[in-house]
Structure 1
Amino acid sequence: MDKQNSKYRWIVFTAVLFTYFLVVSQRTAPGLITDQLMKDFNVSASTIGLLTSIQFLAYASLQIPIGILSDRYGPNLFLIAGALLNGLGTLVYSFAPNEFVLLVSRSLVGMGDATIWVNLVLILSQWFRVKEFVGLLGLAGMAGSLGFLLATFPFSAWIAHTGWRTPFFTVGVLLVLCGILLYVVLVKQPNKRFKEDNLVTVQTEQKREKTLLMLKRIFSDRQAWATFFCHFGLVGTYVGFIGSWAVPYGMQMYGMTRSEVSQLMMIGLVGAIVGASLTTWIANRLESIKRPYMVVHLVVFVSWAMFLLFSGKPPFFMLIILFFIIGYGNGASALTFAAVRQSFSMREVGVVSGFANTGGFISAILLPSIYGKVLDHFQLVSSGVGYFYGFIIPVLFSILGLMGGFLLREQRKESSKASGLSV
């Protein structure tokens, strides 16, 4: 039976998306306990920024290697290993006795997380038809946004009730179990149900000869850089801020409790859920990725600029709107990978997806660390001044995202012709 016409593909889809949902929750959940970590371990804002950045550094540095290896050897085992590694890192985090162990654990989480999205894209490409792909990316984006949503009010309430270690331990156990589930769903059952596809072997032999040439072509390709900067401007600004400084910002600038800030973050995540589904739907209806994506980038840039216009503290009703819009942009970033799938051959989707994803998480590495240094620099003046200057960073990053949108081309048919494979 053909994988792309089987009912079993929806079991694969569900298992992969549930794992992605849990993994994404651990990108920003540590941001809920930023102030507690500073007190418990007696560390500075710069150290907290490093904790966030080290996770995203591990993630970003592995995107291209994971893309190459997944294109060559297939995505299943890498996705399984990533879930197990993410779970192990989260378990270590829950037992951490000092900041060094915290750094090691977040590195493990970042390494595991690095395998997830690229291989999710490849698995969806293998199990679903091209016409289904953009819509399913929207659903995957919604799953990720729900993961972020878990790491707001529900996780915050859980932390308030039990302390921060128990929730992280529980999620770590669940992620390890997800790794076992993925082995059954992606490897064991398909080996019984479907005949082995020789296409992977053929492509592997071709790629062993052409990997360096392929990388050279991708690194000099306008479309690849366009997707890189699109992701840089939307994902890193949102994830970097929410995952590190959103909670202290709300507590210090607006006098909110942790629970209240987590509810504000939920508004952004509702925006992300809407953005993932609505923007991919609009792109399908318009048969255009560039036009709706350009609008998203422009609106997100204006939203970050509003923080500067109001000296780092916009009116509260406007803050709610801004969080929703910025979250919407993060959800809409699924269009980055729709553009990759549209523009490049299946033989290159993994590595180009990894390259584009690197852009988002390089900005997620830079933002928390730079923001922390800005706050440390201005702490003797006032926290308000520090946050105001800190918002210059996402404004500049979103300009790069807007530039990526301008560079993006709708479709390059010559890419598929050159590769000898259809996209």
Structure 2
Amino acid sequence: MRDPTAPTAPTAPPRGADPTPIVASARAAAASLADCAPGGGTLAAAAPLSGRAVFVLVFLPFALGHFLSSLMRTVNATLAPQLVAALALTPGQLGLLTSAFFLAFALAQLPVGIALDRWGPAKVQLPMLMLAGVGALAFAGGQTFAQLLMARALVGLGLGGCFMSAVKAISTWIAPARLPSVQGYLIAVGGLGAASATLPVRLALHYMDWRGLFLWLALAAALTGILIRALSPPQPASGRKTALLEAMRAVYRHPAFRETAALVLIPHTVFFGIQGLWISRWLTDVARYTEEAVGYLLYLGMAAVIFGAIAVGMLTEWAGRRGVAPIRVAAIGVALFICVQLGFVFDWRPSYQLLAVLFTLVGTVTGIEYTIVAQSLPGALTGRAATCLNLLIFLGAFAVQAGFGLVVGCWRPDLFGHYPAIAYQTAFAALVLLQLPGLAWFVRRRARNPLEWVSHPTRP
């Protein structure tokens, strides 16, 4: 790690970087799925599939959709300098433009969740990804801030079912005891998608502009939807019409859902909102790194998401075998995540690089709430539970991403357009204050009942 007082670009990784970690992750996921008992999922009516069939027909297609969703969610962090230059955006406008994805994504959650439980993930994903493709086309052709804002929202709306469709699909075929590691692999694929939005996108911009990039993303969205529909095995669907408010009440009233959301929800929104845009701006404005250096550090951070997600899944399974509840793992992870954010608040100068990577590495622990809810709620509610979580997470991420920009915009930039460190310190301090009450409430509650720290039985 170089001297932070000399903010020159770090050495770029060599061409043809070793893909072994990614290949190893894919092989580990395949092995984990192969170990699962056929038909061990939550829906007994599902026809048995071998572990390899689950990996090829279920995990890979839906993981590809999640990969694309993560890429398009975070790509603005890399494109921010080009977008600011093209449209003369203020921090508030940049935050609003990028966070429009989160707002539209959130609005899609409940309707899509009910559709997942009624018709199954494959039938839902095809039209949704086609809609995302239309949004990407509109973004590529947008000429004004308002046009790009609407197009970005349309992309978020179309990608609103990618992660929860994957959760629903693998929850159908994977035994509950194996969900932490398999969902960890799924989140790792999302990390790979976010990593692809950094250095690979910067390399692509050598051959095309950001408009051409979105044309290719539109094509990728359409092809992914077709692939999911063609490969996914038929999954049982309830066919039961469920009122929207009834679906919300059934999930929100469940004690495990409320406890998990109280502890992990706000940290998760902070992770999504900051990682998708403001880490790159902080590296530019405060650390004063070049665009090339920022792209490299974003790539390292997104690579850390891959390993962090796999590690969290494996650690949760290991702890569960020793009687430690996943909620306890989540509490420890949230405490560490808040400590990392305090480094931003106090402007920890020994290594800005390490701080930026630690934010994404430790922040992956927030994804554990999907596993906790999937293990704790009845199988018939898994689709709606994932969508209710996403509704809250992405509404919160919208508020965090847009609000962070408004706070930073309260200060004036210097002649080079850089905002002062105090602007970012204030914004990060506000986020820490929002997260502390949930952790303090959890620790206080569990201190009164130590037996709740042990693992609870998973749902039937």
Asked if these proteins are the same fold (TM beyond 0.5), I'd say yes
Higher helix share: 1
Mapping of 1:303-318 within 5 angstroms? 303-310=340-347, 314-315=348-349, 317=351
Decide whether aligned partners of structure 1 residues 10 and 217 sit closer, same or farther in structure 2, where only a CA change above 3 A counts. closer
CA distance in 2, matches of 1:402, 1:173: 43
Which residues of structure 1 form unaligned runs of 5+?
A: 417-421
CA distance in 1, matches of 2:197, 2:440: 31
Instruction: Report the number of matched residues.
Output: 399
Which of 96, 117, 122 aligns to 2:142? It is 96
* Match of residue 9 from structure 1: 54
* Match of residue 66 from structure 1: 112
CA distance in 2, matches of 1:181, 1:217: 33
Shift of 1:53: 2.0
The answer to whether the 8 Å contact 1:75/1:123 transfers is yes
CA distance in 2, matches of 1:140, 1:134: 10
* Match of residue 391 from structure 1: 428
Which of 252, 271, 296 aligns to 2:304? It is 271
Counterpart of 1:385, as a letter, is: I
Mean CA deviation greater in 264-273 or 402-411:
402-411
The answer to whether the 8 Å contact 2:304/2:360 transfers is yes
CA distance in 2, matches of 1:404, 1:49: 31
The answer to whether the 8 Å contact 2:101/2:156 transfers is yes
SS of corresponding position for 2:286: helix
CA distance in 2, matches of 1:343, 1:241: 29
CA distance in 2, matches of 1:43, 1:214: 40
Shift of 1:303: 0.8
Mean CA deviation greater in 371-380 or 401-410:
401-410
Q: Does residue 239 of structure 2 align to residue 204 of structure 1? A: yes
Which of 411, 416, 421 aligns to 1:378? It is 411
Write out per-residue CA displacement over residues 349-398 of structure 1, whole angstroms, 9 at most, x where no aligned residue: 11111122223222210122111111221116852222221212332343
Shift of 1:340: 1.0
Decide whether aligned partners of structure 1 residues 309 and 128 sit closer, same or farther in structure 2, where only a CA change above 3 A counts. same
CA distance in 2, matches of 1:324, 1:222: 34
Which of 295, 301, 305 aligns to 2:338? It is 301
* Match of residue 187 from structure 2: 141
TM-score of the aligned structures, taking structure 2 as reference length = 0.80
Q: What's the Cα RMSD here? A: 2.6
Write out per-residue CA displacement over residues 205-239 of structure 1, whole angstroms, 9 at most, x where no aligned residue: 3x64x864453243233321233344433332122
Shift of 1:2: 3.0
Counterpart of 1:171, as a letter, is: L
* Match of residue 392 from structure 2: 359
The answer to whether the 8 Å contact 1:32/1:156 transfers is yes
The answer to whether the 8 Å contact 1:232/1:362 transfers is no
Write out per-residue CA displacement over residues 57-89 of structure 1, whole angstroms, 9 at most, x where no aligned residue: 111122223222212222222222222222222
The answer to whether the 8 Å contact 2:268/2:367 transfers is no
Counterpart of 1:323, as a letter, is: A
The answer to whether the 8 Å contact 1:145/1:331 transfers is no
SS of corresponding position for 2:277: coil
Query: % of aligned pairs identical?
Result: 21
Shift of 1:95: 1.9
Counterpart of 2:331, as a letter, is: M
* Match of residue 222 from structure 1: 255
Shift of 1:166: 2.1
CA distance in 2, matches of 1:240, 1:33: 16
